[in-house]
């Protein structure tokens, strides 16, 4: 159904997750998942990190990175509340997949080859919730990010 | 930074949220937010609904809708565990923004005009967490979806 004029400009821009330690999470989402850091906004008590996959096939200028932050879909925003990374009493964040706190489920990345992607994740020490060989759904996997959030790994094969 | 060959095919395909009542949630995300239902997958105990904004400016065929489900970014997956909609003991899902269960923060939609979008949301009876006029950040708003998940409404003005 074509959209009404009232919602014609709307985009699903980003998903926000809180993270304990931005050094660990940025290394994970950049080096292992392959996203690019577009923007970093530091406030008194927290810092926001905006990441996305670069589909342009070229390096973006700092201005383009900043501009693209609200101009596209598929952005991941990580919120770091300062101090959690070194607070011995910090209990960690809920993944959303067990009580109490059930609600949010996961983010998902599509890949050309789930098996190949997962072999690489395994070599890089990524934790698995479900390997492709586990359970009934052999064509998908679930990995865990450093805070325990689930990331589904799905094939992007359904193309016309 | 250009991506390595190993992650070149990766896309941030979707974000999954559990919902209590799909009738209520589908009406909200389709009629109020303006997303389109791409795919519905019914299993024994649960049903998955995949929604996204249609940026193509034309009606998609059923085959295209199904194919686009894993071929693009900006998909919202809603999971309905059968029975929650009529279970008097169902406690509801956690938004992720308070303890216990803090972790997930929100999804965000970018819009041409936050004021205009919010006036429409108000007329349609949408619940607000933060109106544009509340607090310091006058250019953004937070609305609540039927399960209480936060949806940030942000201007998409940062364009080159």
State the ipTM, two decimals: 0.95
CATH code, domain carrying A55: 3.10.180.10
Point out the residue among B4, B15, B112 whose CB comes nearest to the CB of A15: B15
Nearest CB among B13, B93, B112 relative to A9 is that of B112
Global pTM reads: 0.96
Same domain, A15 and A84: yes
Q: Are residues A16 and A63 in the same domain?
A: yes
A25: chain B residues, CB-CB within 8 Å: none
State the smallest CA–CA distance between residue A122 and chain B in angstroms: 13
Which chain A residues contact residue B64 at CB under 8 A? Answer: 160
Residue-number span of the structural domain to which B148 is assigned: 105-160
pLDDT band at A137 (very low <50, low <70, confident <90, very high): confident
Q: Which residue of B has its CA nearest to A159?
A: B67
Residue B138: the pLDDT is: 86
Domain final residue, candidates B88, B120, B138: B88
Contact call for residues A70 and B110 (beta carbons, < 8 A): yes
Shortest CA distance from A119: residue in chain B: B6
Q: Is A80 labeled as ligand-binding?
A: no
The total of structural domains in chain A comes to: 2
- Claim to verify: residue A25 and residue A69 sit in the same structural domain: yes
Do B120 and B150 share a domain, yes or no? Answer: yes
Q: Cβ A108–B9 below 8 Å, yes or no? A: no
Shared domain for A59 and A112, answered yes or no, is no
Residue stretches of the annotated binding site of B for Zn(2+):
77, 106, 152
Same domain (yes/no): A109, A78? no
Q: Is B96 within the bounds of a domain? A: no
Running along chain B, 160 residues long, what does each successive block of 10 average in pLDDT? 82 98 98 97 98 92 92 97 98 96 97 96 98 91 98 79
Does A15 lie in the same domain as A77? yes
What is the pLDDT averaged over residues A44-68?
A: 94
B40 and B69 fall within a common domain: yes
In a domain, B26, yes or no: yes
- CB pairs < 8 Å spanning A and B: 232
Please give the Cα distance from B130 to B152 (Å, whole number). Answer: 9
Render B145-156 in DSSP notation, one character per residue. Answer: -TT--EEEEEE-
Cα–Cα distance measured from residue A53 to residue A76, given in angstroms and rounded to the nearest whole number = 9
Same domain, yes or no: A27 and A65? yes
Q: Is residue B6 part of a domain?
A: no
DSSP string of A106-155, one letter each residue: EEEEEES-HHHHHHHHHHTT-EEEE-TTSSS-TT-EEEE-TT--EEEEEE
A136 in a structural domain? yes
Domain boundary pick from B88, B120, B149: B88
The percent of residues in chain B predicted with pLDDT above 90, rounded, is 87
In this complex, do B110 and A55 lie within 8 Å of one another by their Cβ atoms? no
Asked if the model's pLDDT at residue A39 lies above 90, the reply is yes
A77 marked as binding residue: yes
For residues B33 and B82, membership in a common domain is answered with yes
Mutate to test the interface with A, among B50, B73, B157 (most CBs of A within 10 A): B73
> B98: nearest CA in chain A?
A101
Residues B28 and B76 in one domain: yes
Structural domain includes residue A81: yes
Same domain, B71 and B123: no
Asked whether residue A46 is domain-assigned, the answer is yes
Q: What distance in Å separates the CA atoms of residue B72 and residue A156, rounded to the nearest whole number?
A: 9
- For residue A131, the model assigns a pLDDT of 97
């Amino acid at each position: 159904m074509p959209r009404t004029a009232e919602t014609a400009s709307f985009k699903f821009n980003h998903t926000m997750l809180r993270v304990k330690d931005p050094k660990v999470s940025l290394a994970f989402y950049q080096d292992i998942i392959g996203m690019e850091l577009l923007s970093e906004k530091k406030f008194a008590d927290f810092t926001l990190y905006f990441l996305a996959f670069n589909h342009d096939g070229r390096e973006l200028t700092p201005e383009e990175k900043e501009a693209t932050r609200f101009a596209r879909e598929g952005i991941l925003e990580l919120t770091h509340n300062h101090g959690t990374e070194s607070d011995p009493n910090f209990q960690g964040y809920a993944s959303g997949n067990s009580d109490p706190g059930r609600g949010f489920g996961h983010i998902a990345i599509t890949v050309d080859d789930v098996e190949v992607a997962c072999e690489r994740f395994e070599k890089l020490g990524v934790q698995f919730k479900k390997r492709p060989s586990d359970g009934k759904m052999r064509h998908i996997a679930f990995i865990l990010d450093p805070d325990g959030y689930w990331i589904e790994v799905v094939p992007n094969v359904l193309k016309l």
